[in-house]
Structure 1
Amino acid sequence: MATTTAGKPSVMRRILTFPLTWMIIGTVFVFLTNAILVGVGSEMDATGVIVTALIGAAAGLVFYQLTMWLVARRRTPELTVRGIGRETFLGLAIGVLFIAVSYLIVVATGAYTVTWAPHDVTTTVALALAVNAGAAIVEELTFRGLLFQGVEQLCGPRVGRWIALAVTAAFFGGAHLLNPGATLWSSLAIAIEAGVLLGAAFMWRRNLWFVFGIHFAWNVIEGLLGIPVSGHRDPGLFVTTVHGDGLLSGGAFGLEASFVPVLVSLAVAIPMLVAARRRRVAPTRSAAARVRLEAVGR
């Protein structure tokens, strides 16, 4: 590390390790690389789309690590390989449960008619898995990896994570305003059901593999059920036809614009936030107890 004659980090090093700096650098590289690859893939056949999506996800992971190591000069425990299988599986299970419950509630109201209509099952499933893996990884590296942790560090240990939760949720909802069929309501719904839920998941586990799992399972299940994913409809194994009030069904934007998953997501996110708070308090109390014991020993 470059230092001044007094042994302190140089001005350039302080600029680079400032949270806003590495947030911007990391976001540009992770998103720009993925956008270029997605653009290239869109001009190719299904195999090309799958390959470029997976390369984009891998490149995002590499650029994220490089940004944290070389620019922010911090470790990345949020991407540790220890427990990767457990964290990913837990995230997948929660993501599947969240979408399944939301979907079945809407189906039970009669707002959806579901028809089995597969076409080239292997290609359809492969595309859904690859494209949504790329999207989940890139979006979570950006919003929960870079933006959340950057805002958290900027705002300090006491309130930083709560401000980061609010800021990233708002940005995540706002980013989806550009999607087909988006409205102010759909953006607000995504800010709550995705921004808050995924932020709460990260606060609880402090593990990006866990958050990847939730996001990935969510998008894949929606897509295969034939529901637009944030306004984007791709071929699925089913065709889901919408009936009635868009506030219930989500309309052309998809399930995410329904009030049902908003309520279900809060039912999932609130226990996570409670668990995150308890997890944060427990080490603090333990540290205080050690200080008291040391004082008694002296």
Structure 2
Amino acid sequence: MHTTHIASPPPTHQEGGTHQERGRFFRSPLVWMLIGMVGVGLASSLASVGGVVAVVGAAAAVVIYWAVMRYVARRSMPEIAKSGAVTQALSGVAIGFGFITVSMLMLLTEFSFDERPGNGLSIVASMAAMSFGAAVTEELIFRGLALQALEKLCGSWAALTITAVLFGGLHLANPGATLWSSLAIAIEAGVLLGAAFLWKRDIWFAVGLHFAWNTTLGLIGIPVSGHASEGLMTTTPDGPDLLTGGDFGLEASIVPVIVSLLIAIPLLIGAHRRGNLVPLRRGLR
């Protein structure tokens, strides 16, 4: 029996235009930013569980980020390149650890320390897994998605400012948070981590810094952004809240705010010299 094949008519001009418009819509920075935030945000719920689940959540967040950038934004992703990722992360770890260590050394007399019983290895592993999950998901959302999308619209300086304010504002919901603690977080984390990303244009560098910061605080036994930490020590603030951060933790202290700026400013100068900052006029285009 002979079957007659009827050729499909070519797409009309209207259909082609609709397809192109749909493509342009999804490639819009705000659209892929929001889609990515939803996807990575869902993965972050796994990362907040802790343990192996946190690591799985972080891995899922990276896969979602890659998929959104590849198939929605249609852009390359040098910021999550595997080549050199370990080196970049370790460089960030060194800066993050140094940041907290210097801040604490300046405030040693304002705290009292007691050894906390428990299995040290288990405590370190648990703290590291939780910090890793938080660092990966938060950096993908704020520096990978938000900062890069916004700088396409309004340049790097405006994007850095907006993401810093958003990052600080979201921490208002944390235990013991105040307007001051959110401002401090906006400067310490929002500006410093944003500057770290702009300097290297590498997510893993910012992740390493963020991870070391949270892990070091947690192991010392100081609350991380208001959340109590069961680390290797029990640390009690004895000095004024402006120096110790009070119940919110060291991040609400004036000292790390100053130290973070002393680190962030050279990073931003370096980013400018490398040509890594998107000016407003190019962002608007």
SS in 2 for 1:114: strand
Structure 1 window deviating more from structure 2 (3-12 vs 118-127): it is: 3-12
Show the counterpart of 2:207: 212
Q: Which amino acid aligns with 1:13?
A: G
Deviation, 1:152, is 0.6
Aligned mates of 1:280, 1:62 — CA distance in 2: 29
Query: CA shift at 1:231, angstroms?
Result: 0.4
Deviations 1:10-37 (A, max 9, x none): 11101100001000000001012322x2
Structure 1 segments of 4 or more deviating over 6 A?
6-9
Q: Give matches, 1:204-243, under 5 Å.
A: 204-243=199-238
Is this contact kept in 1: 2:113–2:233, CA < 8 A? yes
Residues 1:161 and 2:156 are matched in the alignment = yes
Structure 2, gaps ≥5 residues long: 1-10, 278-285
- The reply to whether residue 245 of structure 1 matches residue 240 of structure 2 is yes
User: Residue in 2 aligned with 1:197?
Assistant: 192
Q: 2:72: which partner in 1?
A: 71
Q: How does 1:247-286 map to 2 (within 5 A)?
A: 247-280=242-275
Structure 1 residue 123: Cα displacement: 1.7
Give the paired residue count: 265
1:217 offset after TM fit, Å?
0.2
In structure 2, the residue matched to 1:116 is 115
Distance 2:276 2:186 in 1: 27
Cα-to-partner distance string for 1:238-293 (whole Å, 9 max, x where unaligned): 111111210100000000000000000000000001001111189xxxxxxxxxxx
Q: Tell me which residue corresponds to 2:141.
A: 142
> How far 1:170 sits from its partner (Å)?
0.3
Distance in 1 between residues matched to 2:265 and 2:93, nearest whole Å = 18
Identity percentage of aligned residues: 52
- Residues of 2 paired with 1:4 and 1:164: CA distance? 40
Superposition TM-score, scaled by structure 1 size: 0.85
Matching residue of 1:57: 58
Q: Give 1:117 deviation, angstroms.
A: 2.1
Q: 1:10 to 1:250 in 2, by over 3 A?
A: same
1:233: how far off?
1.0
Alignment correspondent of 1:288: none
User: Larger RCO: Structure 1 or Structure 2 (Cα < 8 Å, ≥ 6 residues apart)?
Assistant: 2
Q: In the aligned structure 2, how far is the partner of 1:104 from the partner of 1:122?
A: 24
Counterpart of 2:40 in structure 1 is 30
Quick one: which amino acid aligns to residue 124 of structure 1?
I
Deviations along 1:137-180, whole A, 9 cap, x unmatched?
0000000000000001112xxxx011110000000000100000
Match of 1:175 in 2: 170
Deviation at 1:118, TM superposition (A): 3.8
Partner of 2:112: helix, strand, or coil? strand
Partner of 1:19: 29
In structure 2, give the amino acid aligned to 1:173: G
State the secondary structure of the residue aligned to 1:234: coil
Which SS does the other structure have where 2:235 is aligned?
Answer: strand
Unaligned runs of 5+ in 1: 42-48, 283-298
Equivalent position SS for 1:10: helix
TM-score using structure 2 length? 0.89
Letter matched to residue 95 of structure 1: G
1:22 maps to a residue whose letter is W
Cα distance, 1:4–1:242 mapped onto 2, change above 3 Å: farther
Residue 4 of structure 1 deviates from its aligned partner by 8.5
Q: Deviations over 1:18-63 (max 9, x none)?
A: 001000000001012322x257x4xxxxxxx302111110110010
| Whole-angstrom CA distance in 1 between matches of 2:276 and 2:133 | 35
Structure-2 residue corresponding to 1:10: 20
2:126 corresponds to: 127
**C-alpha RMSD of matched pairs (Å):** 1.8
Question: Whole-Å Cα distance in 2 between the matches of residues 67 and 84 of structure 1?
Answer: 20
Alpha-carbon distance in 2 for matches of 1:76, 1:149: 11
